[in-house]
Amino acid sequence: MRWLPIVLACASGCAELGVVGDGTSVSVGRASRGYLIDGVRLPDRGDGYVTRERWVVRNNRFGTDEAVDLVVGVARRLAPKNGGVRLVVGDLSGPGGGGGGEFHRSHQSGRDIDLLYYMRSDAGKPFEADAMHVFDDKLQARDGSGLSVDVARTWQLVKQLITAREAAVQYVFMYEPIAKRLVEYAHDSGEPDELVERARRTLHQPGDSARHDDHLHVRVYCSAADRRLGCVDLGPLDFAPDEAVARQELDEVSRELSARPHRMDRGCWR
């Protein structure tokens, strides 16, 4: 049994120090201001995925059990459909959280994953991403390489992410023109309305960071267990695991803390 410092969490993200036992990873705090305890290292390559050297050397390879399982599971399920073209994985978080200030504002608590878009060559053939290429609103690479976003394969990636059993995905951050094209493709392909709507609500171009026109950024919800240990979700909880229970727990903790004298502790995220 590993002993971890943490932990009574509240909706605002504050936590009181305590000691709890937990044998798994724990994501603490917000995605942009938190840390990771006992994170799992994603292997540099596996069934259906690979990491290029530029991301391997950064060593931002760590995530929660759920985040790492998500990458491994999704890549494995996509592999038979992709004709040998692997999913290319970028950064997760550092060993204790944090993605390196020069690279990321988020990626701090083990719940963020960078994935490269599936691509096609200038001849229209599937192309395994060699690097991040910036795409324009026509989904064409701006560097003159002739590459374009592979809409069909990238949709299958999004579909696997938002229906995965390994973790509940809160956001898939991507450039709005790409997101719009994926939703249109899903609708035109006869995907169920419920699935298309889920994609529409999950795909999101952030307004306070890069527009993600060269990669997509996946964020998973806090697990139910981590939420009780100080993990904080910001934004919609519509698809969070045990969402009704989570809301009740947050309300109960908020009421308890509001009845106490205000105190600022180490481990309070704002």
CATH of the domain at 213: 3.30.1380.10
- Domain contains 251: no
Tens of pLDDT, residue by residue over 247-265, are 555 555 455 545 544 433 3
Tell me what pLDDT residue 211 has.
81
Predicted structure pTM score: 0.82
Contact 219, 141 (CB under 8 A): no
Which H or E run contains 224?
A: helix 224-228
Judge whether 249 lies within some domain: no
The pLDDT assigned to 209 comes to: 66
Range of the domain at 160: 39-222
- Confirm whether 242 is domain-assigned: no
Cα 112 to its chain centre, rounded Å, is 4
pLDDT for the residue 106:
75
Which residue ranges in the chain fall short of pLDDT 70?
A: 1-22, 99-105, 208-209, 243-270
Instruction: Give the pair of three-digit tokens for residue 41.
Output: 């290292």
What is the model's pLDDT at position 3?
38
In a domain, 261, yes or no: no
* Residue 186 falls inside a structural domain: yes
Cα separation of 154 and 152, whole Å? Answer: 6
Asked whether residue 265 is domain-assigned, the answer is no
Q: Is residue 8 part of a domain?
A: no
Structural domains counted in the chain: 1
Instruction: For 81-149, list the strands marked E by DSSP.
Output: 87-88, 112-115, 119-120, 126-127, 148-149
- Which residue has 């908020």 as its token pair? 254
User: Measuring CA to CA, how many Å separate 70 from each of 113, 141, 188?
Assistant: 10, 28, 27
Residue 1 CB coordination number (10 Å): 6
- For residues 227 and 242, what is the distance between their CA atoms, to the nearest angstrom? 11
Judge whether 34 lies within some domain: no
